[in-house]
A and B are shown apart, each in its own frame.
Chain A
C-alpha cells in the first residue's frame, strides 16, 4: 500500500520537495549573510556603545523578508494540493473501486494513505518553520516581535500543526464532498476561517494576560519578545483617556488634559514644572500583555488545538468513508 501511495503521489511530493529545496537555499544564503551582518554590527556598536540603534539593519533583504511572511500560507498548500484530492480524486475517477476490491480493507487503505500524507505535511510545515525560525533569529533579537501575531504563526511548532490540520481538512472535505474542486474551496475557506478565529479571539486568552500600571513619567516596557494586547493611559478618575489626538503629547498624555505649565515650549526644555509633574502623577499608563516567557507555552497550546482539530476531522473522514456505501 505504501508503494501505491508513493507511486500515486510521488510527483506531487517531489514538487513539494523541490519547492522546499529552493526555499532552503534562499534562506540559508540570506540567513548566513544576515547573521554575519548582525554579528559585525554588534561588535561595532559594542565598541561605540551605540547598540540601542540598529533599526536600519537588514533592510537589504526585503524580498526574502516578504517571502518569509508569505509562509503564513504555506501550511494550507499541503491541504489544497495533497489533502483535498487524496480521496476525492479517487472517488471522482472511480479508482477507489479498483483499490477497494484488492485484498485490503478501506480502513487500512485510508490509514496508510492519510498517514503518509500527514507525515509529508508535517515535514513540509516543519522544514519551512525551521528555516524561517532560524532565518529570523537576528531579526527577532532586533525587533523582539517573535510573539506578535503574524510572526508567532510562522515559527516554532505551530506551522507543523497548521499543516497537519490543513491536510486533515483537505482529506475530510474531499471525502465528504466526493469532488476535488469543491473540496479545494472548502479547504481554503475553512483553513483561513479557523486560523483567523483562533488567532484573533482564542489565542489572547490561552493564559490570562498580565496588566502592569506605571507612572507615565517613568514609562514601562515589558522584557523580551512580549505580546502586547492593549495599552493606554488612565486619567485621574481611573478611566482610560483618549490618546488619539493631533495636539502635543507629554509623557504619553495629550496636552489638553494637562495644565499650561506642561505645554511646550516649556516641556522638554529643562526640568518639568512642579505643577506639571503633580498633574502628570495623577495619570497612569497601563500595558496588558503576554510575557515573553509564555511563548513556548502558547506554541504548545496552539499546536495542541490544531492537532486535536486534525484528529477530529480524520475521525469524521474515517467514519464517513467506512459507514457509507462505496
Chain B
C-alpha cells in the first residue's frame, strides 16, 4: 500500500533561513505519528508543506497519493490545525459548523455538536469569549468534523489541561481505530504523545533525525556502558548517536544491531525518551544512571 506521506529531500528556506533541509520521511496509513523536535526544529514548516499551505524550495512529496495542491479533492482529504488555532472570534461554534458544512463534502456536523456538548462547550457563544482550552477543543472538533484522511495537528494539546489532553488523545486514537485515518501531530514534548503514537518523526536543527515505527526504532537502539576507553571499534559497526564520557566510564547511545564482542561493554535496552533526547543532543541527565547500578551488581 502506498504510504500516506512520502517525501524525499524536502527543503524549505525562508530568505536566508533554512527551516527544513533534506527531509525524507514515510508515514504509512493508519498510524499516529509523533512529530517531535525542539522549538524551531522545522515541525510547523513540515506540517505546512504537507498541508499545501507552503511550497517547498526543493525535494518531492506525495501526500494522499499526490502532490499537495490547490484542489478541492486534495483539500477535502487533509485536516490541518495550526498552532495559532485560527477561528473567527466573533462567530459561535455553531457558525463555524455552518461554515464547514458549506465548504466541505464530507462534513459531520452531528458528531461535532455531540463532541462539543459532551465537553460542555456552549455552541452559541462567540468563540472569542471561550477559554483558550475550549477554543482549542472547538478547533480540533471542527478539524475532525471534516473527516479527513490525513490529520496534521500542530501542537494540538499545548492549550489543553491534562484531563482534556488525555480525552482528546483518546478521541484521536478511536478515530484512527475506526480506520481510514492517519495522524501526524507535533509537540516539543514527547510525553504529550507517547501514549498514543506508534510512529515517530524526530526533527532537530531542521533535519530529520529519526523516522519510523517506534517499536522498530527502539529495537535498533541500545545503550552501551563501559569503561572510559577508545570507541572506534564500536563506531565501525554501529552509529554512535551520543557519547557521554565521565572520568570513570563511557555511556553510548548507539544505533544498529551488530553484536558487541568486547566484554567491557554492557548493552541495555533504551527507552523512548532517552532515545529522543539523545538525538536532540540535549544534556541528558545521566541518561543511564540506573544501568550503571545494574552493571555494578553483575
Contact = CB atoms under 8 A, between A and B. Distances in A.
Interface residues of A, number: 23
Among B72, B86, B89, B105, max chain A CB count under 10 A is at B86
Interface in B89-109: 89, 91, 95-96, 98-100, 102-105
B205 interface: no
B30 interface: no
B70 A102 contact: no
A102 B104 contact: yes
B105 A101 contact: no
B53 A103 contact: no
A104 interface: yes
Among A96, A98, A325, max chain B CB count under 10 A is at A98
Contact of A95 (B54, B75, B86): B86
B51 interface: yes
Given A7-B91, A102-B146, A104-B75, A97 B53 contact: yes
Nearest to A104: B103
Interface string A7-44: 11000000000000000000000000000000000000
B99 A102 contact: yes
Interface in B246-268: none
Nearest to A98: B86
B219 to A, nearest CB: 37
Contacts of A315: none
B88 A1 contact: no
A66 B53 CA distance: 50
B129 to A, nearest CB: 15
A93 B146 CA distance: 22
B170 interface: no
A4 interface: yes
B42 interface: no
A110 to B, nearest CB: 11
Contact of A326 (B53, B88, B95, B98): B53
A4 B103 contact: yes
Contacts of A3: 98-99, 102
A101 to B, nearest CB: 5
Contacts of B89: 93
Interface in A177-234: none
Interface string A132-160: 00000000000000000000000000000
B53 A7 contact: no
B99 A7 contact: yes
Nearest to B142: A98
A64 interface: no
Given A103-B104, A105-B75, A96 B86 contact: yes
B71 interface: yes
B86 A94 contact: yes
Nearest to A8: B88
A100 interface: yes
Given A4-B99, A4-B103, A97-B86, A325 B54 contact: yes
25 contacts: A3-B102, A4-B99, A4-B102, A7-B91, A93-B88, A94-B84, A94-B86, A97-B53, A97-B86, A101-B51, A101-B78, A101-B79, A101-B81, A102-B104, A103-B72, A103-B73, A103-B103, A103-B104, A104-B75, A104-B103, A105-B72, A105-B75, A325-B53, A325-B55, A326-B54
Interface of B: 48, 51, 53-55, 70-73, 75-76, 78-82, 84, 86-89, 91, 95-96, 98-100, 102-105, 139, 142-143, 146
The 10 closest A-B pairs by CB, nearest first: A102-B103, A94-B86, A103-B76, A325-B54, A326-B53, A105-B70, A98-B86, A97-B86, A103-B104, A103-B75
Given A101-B53, A325-B54, 6 more contacts: A3-B99, A8-B88, A98-B142, A100-B53, A103-B146, A105-B71
